[in-house]
Chain A
Amino acid sequence: MTFWFITLFCIYIIALVYCAFYGRKKTSKKRLDFLTGGSNLGAVLGFFTFSATLFSTFTLMGMPDFVRNHGIGAWIFLGVTDVAMAFVVLWFGIKLRRRIANERFESVSSLLCQTFGNRIAGATYLVGVFIFLVPYVSIQIRGVAIFLEAVAPIKLPMWVWALSILLLMLAYSGIGGLKAIMYSDVIQGTVLLIVTWFIAIGCVKYFGGIGEMFNAVEQVDPALLSTPGPKGLFTPQFLIASFLAILVMPISQPQLTIRIAIMRNTSQLKKMAAAVSVFAFLVILPTIAIGCYGAVKHSGASTAAFLANTLVHEQVPFIAAAAIVGLLAAAMSTADSQLFALGTEFESFLPGKKEVFRAEAAILFFAAASFILALLTNDQLVMLARVSFAGTSLLAPMILAAVLRPKRLGKEIPIFTLIALAVFLLSVIKIIPSKIGPIRMDLFLLCTVAFITLLSSYIRSGMLKKEGNV
């Protein structure tokens, strides 16, 4: 495997370097072009960069392990949700583009500051994405670094892998800006899809067919074939709360919102959204087979042992090497976009003269914070990712209000959002209960923030109409 790993790894690195310099060539030296890729994204590049950014190690590592432990309800948890999210990309994209049609989009925080007429909304947004996105970047880097430490033929400690990944991401995003990240996403998305399918086909072949695969799973634990699964996780309430949290990701997470905003035109956006729905279906489907294989062959094993065996040790050398590179690509394609988006959001919010180096400094700061957290955090990839989705989802009503009702919005919306973020954080670190009666705290907070935002917008728009009549 060593030969194939070194060969594929070198090809991958060379491709990234090429993307970095090609991105630099295609981007002017202007700050806004560096941060938004020239706001000229076509459907194909848009689809690849959106998909690669959306599907991370969560897909190739988290989902199979989720299926292995909690059963096929995982398809409802992510398969149905991500495909539904593609429709949100289309719907929200149309609304967002209409909102920003007469101005140049810079960042979500600047849009919020401008719409609310104060900096509270922008600051609330930044607090939310900082608290809930940096840990998500960290767990991805940690997840893939631990995996590489265990299975890569080149023996390096976890922290060296984590640091190398971060430095590589900083290098190509620093050279070519957002455009370089997007070109690298094309490679990373393609690698992720191909590797996932190769491994899944091998898993189904192992059983001799799809029916035989589910028969074998039933022999191990029949509860894996229905909800709520053997551990009772997939209750309707958990699935609905997760659905809502993930559904609003294109609205609440800056790395996705910015990609919608910088599409060349509405026609390209429409094609991109349609392609994302197909990609989401195709990339999540094979993880079910990988998870079923794990449920039968590695039912009692730890997550690390299951992934190392299924993705690497039980594969032919070429596929094993491709899986390692594919995982690296999956982690990098999401983490680089998140770090870049965080840097862009903070740079555009800070007062003073706007310069590229300030964005680069902000990205460097977040990369350092992610690295430190990656060394300290735990290995619950899917559950930590879900906390990140739930946390950022609380920002969605405020952003939607800014996009749909930009005329008059009050300070109470960002203030209530900030309170909701604080309450959710306290429930995550178990200072306050994670449920209110029978209702999950994340679901309760999301519904409350949405209701308050709706009520505030309705009352203020009524006041505006009254003033108009007077």
Chain B
Amino acid sequence: MIKVCIWRFCCLCSILLSFVAFTPLVIPSKTAEPFVLGMPRTLWAGLLISLGLVVITIVGACVVDFEEGGDIK
């Protein structure tokens, strides 16, 4: 049951993170500040979103139940 909840949470997080990537939080029009580690805002924020999605995919792959899928005969 916990695994099912985590899997659903991963699905929700991936949708939310993808949504955030297209908001002014990540792609503000004509704004490069603030710079972090020398990188402009859209790049570092985009990298953080991508890293978040990588982590979610790995966690999702660990918890998604076999019963959700199936093996080919």
Contact = CB atoms under 8 A, between A and B. Distances in A.
Interface of A: 39, 72-73, 75-76, 79-80, 83-84, 86-87, 90-91, 93-95, 97-98, 100-105, 209-215, 218, 222-223, 225-228, 234, 236, 239-240, 243, 261-262, 265-267, 269-271, 273-274, 277-278, 281, 285, 288
Contact of B21 (A72, A76, A261): A76
Contacts of A274: 57-58, 61-62
A277 B59 CA distance: 12
Most chain B beta carbons < 10 A, residue from A93, A209, A266: A266
B49 A266 contact: no
Interface size class of B (residues with CB under 8 A): 35 or more
Contacts of A215: 38
Given A97-B71, A239-B27, A226 B54 contact: no
B31 A80 contact: no
Contacts of B32: 218, 222, 225-226
Interface string B29-73: 111100101111111001101110110111011101010111111
B69 A84 contact: no
A214 B18 contact: no
Contacts of B28: 226-227
A102 B62 CA distance: 24
A214 B38 contact: yes
Given A101-B71, A270-B61, A83 B40 contact: no
A392 B52 CA distance: 28
Nearest to A39: B72
Nearest to B46: A75
B50 A90 contact: no
Contacts of B31: 226
Given A76-B27, A80-B21, A228-B29, A94 B57 contact: no
Contacts of A239: 22, 27
Contacts of B73: 101-104
Given A97-B69, A288-B43, 11 more contacts: A75-B42, A76-B46, A90-B61, A93-B69, A94-B69, A209-B38, A218-B32, A225-B32, A234-B27, A236-B22, A265-B72
Contact of A211 (B37, B41, B46, B56): B37
Given A72-B40, A94-B64, A211-B37, A227 B71 contact: no
Given A80-B46, A223-B30, A277-B53, A270 B64 contact: yes
B11 interface: yes
Given A218-B32, A281-B54, A80 B18 contact: yes
B64 A84 contact: no
Contact of B71 (A87, A90, A213, A266): A266
B69 A210 contact: no
> Chain A interface secondary structure, helix, strand, loop or mixed?
helix
B26 interface: yes
Contacts of A266: 66, 69-71
A236 B23 CA distance: 8
Contacts of B58: 274, 277-278
A214 B32 CA distance: 10
Contacts of B10: 87
18 contacts: A72-B42, A72-B43, A75-B46, A83-B53, A84-B18, A90-B60, A97-B69, A98-B68, A98-B70, A100-B70, A227-B28, A228-B30, A239-B27, A240-B22, A271-B61, A278-B54, A278-B58, A281-B51
Contacts of A80: 18, 21, 46, 49-50, 53
A227 B24 CA distance: 10
Contacts of A222: 32
A83 B52 CA distance: 9
B35 A98 contact: no
Contacts of B47: 75, 79, 285
Contact of A243 (B22, B29, B51): B22
Contacts of A278: 54, 58
A101 B68 contact: no
Contacts of B26: 76
Nearest to A244: B18
B65 to A, nearest CB: 9
Contacts of B56: 87
Nearest to B66: A266
